[in-house]
């Protein structure tokens, strides 16, 4: 059973789902380059992750129409199996976009995930929330086949 909740306030959003997987499996999906590439619409071989505070990441994302765009960023907070705070570099902006991923293990086979982000405008928030909704859907499908 997947439950989903979305809240938006100002230029922020938070998406919450209950995933049918233990927290360690969800963590691994977010922090292992091969797994992340599989579910997060990244070009094969393009994902690099140094998952530690101050570590960097990069990935080339593939759009539904086949376009590709590179993303880079860094990790601000890393609390294994619990919390990731990820910065994403934004062209033309001095400060990175920040996404928070929080995991709460509800049982041995269920984890609540909350993904939150604050954006500069309502349009940016809407696009980011739409993208995160797609990612969570793909993550849900990946976890069903991953364990």
* DSSP codes of every residue in the chain: ---EEEEEETTEEEEEEEESS-HHHHHHHHH-HHHHHHHTTBPTT--EE--STT-EEEEEEE-TTS-EEEEEEEEEEEETTTEEEEEE--TT-SS-EEEEEEEEEEETTEEEEEEEEE-SSHHHHHHHHHHHHHHHHHHHHHHHHH-
Rounded mean pLDDT of 31-38?
A: 94
81: pLDDT strictly greater than 50: yes
Burial grade of 52 (CB within 10 A; 0-12, 13-18, 19 or more): exposed
Alpha carbons within 13 A on the beta-carbon side of 103: 28
Q: Is-contact 23 111, C-beta < 8 A?
A: yes
Beta-carbon count within 10 A of 113 CB: 20
Predicted TM-score (pTM) of this structure: 0.89
**Dist CA 11 CA 60 (whole Å):** 26
1: pLDDT strictly greater than 70: no
Domains and CATH numbers, the chain: 4-146 (3.30.530.20)
Average pLDDT for the chain: 91
> CB-based contacts of 14: which residues, under 8 Å, 6+ apart?
6, 7, 8, 114, 115, 116
7: pLDDT strictly greater than 70: no
Q: For residue 92, what pLDDT is reported?
A: 86
């Amino acid at each position: 059973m997947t439950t989903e909740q979305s809240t938006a306030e100002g230029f922020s959003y938070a998406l919450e789902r209950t995933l049918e997987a233990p927290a360690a499996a969800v963590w691994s999906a977010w922090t292992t380059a091969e797994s992340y590439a599989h579910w997060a619409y990244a070009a094969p071989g393009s994902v690099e992750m140094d998952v530690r505070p101050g570590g960097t990441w990069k990935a080339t994302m593939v759009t539904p129409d086949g376009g590709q765009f590179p993303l880079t960023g860094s990790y601000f907070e890393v609390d294994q199996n619990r919390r990731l705070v990820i910065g994403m570099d934004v062209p033309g902006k001095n400060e990175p976009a920040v996404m928070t991923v929080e995991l709460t293990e509800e049982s041995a086979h269920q984890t609540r995930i909350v993904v939150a982000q604050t954006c500069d405008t309502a349009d940016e928030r809407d696009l980011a929330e739409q993208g995160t909704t797609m990612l969570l859907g793909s993550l849900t499908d990946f976890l069903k086949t991953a364990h």
